[in-house]
Amino acid sequence: MTEVIASTQIVGVRPSGEKLSITVRIGRPYISGTEPETWSCPVSVEPLYPKLADIAGLDSLQSFVLACRLALSLLEGFKESGGQLLHDDGTDFPLEAYGFGYPASGSAGA
């Protein structure tokens, strides 16, 4: 990824108790095709997923949002498999606070 425009660090705890530092990075969207125009956005969730394909969309915003949603989905999968996501201080890392349209627990009107 040549230019990171957004990132965060998370402490992951595997079901075995092993701790790891998870880094989520979103890169700058770029034009990746011309017929029709297509935009792509780099995304990484390391070390869980060391090699992800750039996410394509119809414009830069769509590719960016889809890349963010992929990262959130992969982190949710980590949690669903028994892992924990924490801040450095040991408090829970709230995925629902990071989502474009990410379903918050117990939200009304959804």
Q: What is the pLDDT of residues 8-39, one digit of tens each?
A: 999 999 999 999 999 999 999 999 988 889 99
Q: With 0-12 CB in 10 A as exposed, 13-18 as middle and 19+ as buried, what is 3? A: exposed
Q: How far is CA 63 from the centre of its chain?
A: 13
Q: Tokens for 41, please give them.
A: 């956005």
Question: Which pLDDT score, from 0 to 100, does residue 50 have?
Answer: 83
Predicted structure pTM score: 0.85
For the chain, domain boundaries: 4-95
pLDDT per residue as tens digits for the range 60-97: 999 999 999 999 999 999 999 999 999 999 999 998 88
Question: Which pLDDT score, from 0 to 100, does residue 103 have?
Answer: 55
